[in-house]
Structure 1
Amino acid sequence: MRKKLVLSILATLMIVLSACSMGGFKADHKYKIDSFEFTNQHNEKVALDDLKGTVWIAQFVFTNCETVCLPMMANMTDLQQQLHDAGVEDYKIVSFSVDPKNDTPDALQTYLDAFDPVDQSKWEMLTGYSQDTIEGLAIGSFKTFVSKTQGVDQVTHGTAYSLVNKDGVSVKTYNGAEDVPYDQIVKDMKALIKEEPKS
């Protein structure tokens, strides 16, 4: 009887350990992204609904930025190279301009070109909205800040990358300006891409 009990416990432990080793994605939070329809670097409309069914990673930047945007863009380009090297295909990189008055589609395209990403087709550089709109989207959907002071050409904004699942829900954030956890992001994106959307 005791032998059967021990074997039963061992079998249960093996199942649990096996399930753990399979991995899977664990969300840090669940922030539903508010609906939007903006304009990308090709002067095309891009809506939240267009991104449904696709895993995407978001950032907030602007072309006239003198500080954190340069490393954020460079790091995102490096991340895409690692995704490419890992054979990850089904994803998008969404960059929201925090200075939409000055960041035209052409300006955003020129800015992206300067970083020479491995696959520009994955990038959506978004503009075409008011300053209030982007500040509201940042805090309301991504729980990050965007603040433009009148009379100043710089915009204060968060430096996190936000990972969004196929249902349009932000599920995890990472440091985007320095010490970027590339391996973890690639692992998380792979896991999310394998998941079926819930809606």
Structure 2
Amino acid sequence: MEIKFFKKSIPTLIFLIVFSAIVIPVFYQLLKVDTKLKIYNPADVNPRLVDFSMKHITKDHTVADFKLTNQNGEIITNKNYKNKIYVADFFFTRCQTICIAMAYNMSELQDFYKKDADIMFLSHSVTPVIDSVSVLKDYAERKGVMDGKWNVTTGSKKHIYELARKSYFAVLDEGDGGENDFIHTEQFILVDKERRIRGYYDGTEKEDMIKLKNDIVLLKEEYASK
């Protein structure tokens, strides 16, 4: 009796083994897809943050080419961030409000990733006329900026403000980058190796910095699996 029952169970057992071999990997892959970070396009962002000319874009948005000058007087472009994951923000050296916490948190992130060659940082001055190279150099020394890891930059105000509004979608207010235009934002923006936006974080909040680190883990796993 037991032998007959066992024989009848063999096909069921084989079926379960084959079923598991097929379904479990598929289920695992679906879970992996779900843990991938969102890719942000203009249509995915708060409409108040997006320039009117770009609100219709639903795919393939990337950070535009840029040309800036860092704390050492070096020209910094997209090429310096090629095949890098980076965190971008907007600040000014005389800021005595949100920028203090932002600079502290960016410095903490830099220290956390100092041995990780995949991760870099990019800060854009929103008062570039005031924040000359010499001013940025002094600021960088005070904040412990590591050359080659974190660039604090100045440049054309119009260019920087256009990056904030049309590439990073980091500010609510509109403007033309003119003399009376001024932006101030606490946003940290996570950018992947294809220059795509993968996350937004409040640069003054510790909880958001934890989330940012966790998201970088997911992003690195995404690249490792390719």
Range of TM-score over shorter length: 0.7 to 0.9
C-alpha distance in structure 1 between counterparts of 2:16 and 2:220, whole Å: 39
Partner Cα separation in structure 1 for residue 35 and residue 133 of structure 2: 37
The answer to which structure has the higher helix fraction is: 2
Do the aligned partners of residues 23 and 121 (structure 1) sit closer, same or farther apart at CA in structure 2, a change above 3 Å counting? farther
Q: Which residue of 2 aligns with 1:45?
A: 75
> Structure 1's 171 and 75: CA in aligned 2 closer, same or farther, altered over 3 A?
same
Q: Which amino acid aligns with 1:115?
A: K
Higher relative contact order at CA 8 Å, sep ≥6: structure 1 or structure 2? Answer: 1
- Identical aligned residues as a percent: 24
* TM-score, length of structure 1 as denominator length: 0.80
Query: Which structure 2 residues correspond to residues 115-194 of structure 1 after superposition, within 5 A?
Result: 115-117=143-145, 119-130=146-157, 132-145=158-171, 155-193=182-220
For structure 2, the 5+ residue unaligned runs are 1-10, 42-60
Distance 1:57 1:151 in 2: 27
In the TM superposition, what is the alpha-carbon distance from 1:46 to its structure 2 partner? 0.7
Matches within 5 A, 1:1-199: 1-16=11-26, 18-19=28-29, 20=31, 25-30=36-41, 31-84=61-114, 87-117=115-145, 119-130=146-157, 132-145=158-171, 155-193=182-220, 195=223
The number of aligned residues is 191
The CA deviation string for residues 36-80 of structure 1, in whole angstroms up to 9 with x for no partner, is 111111111111233221111101111011211110010111112
Q: Which has the higher strand share?
A: 1
CA contact (8 A) 1:88 1:190 kept: no
Classify 1:50/1:149 alpha carbon distance in 2 versus 1 (closer, same or farther; 3 Å).
Answer: closer
User: Equivalents in 2 of 1:166, 1:150: separation in Å?
Assistant: 34
Q: Following the alignment from structure 2 to structure 1, what is the Cα–Cα distance between the partners of residues 180 and 66?
A: 28
TM-score (ref. length: structure 2): 0.71
Please, which moves more after superposition, 156-165 or 10-19? 10-19
1:56 alignment partner, SS class: strand
Bigger CA radius of gyration: 2
* Unpaired runs of at least 5, structure 1: none
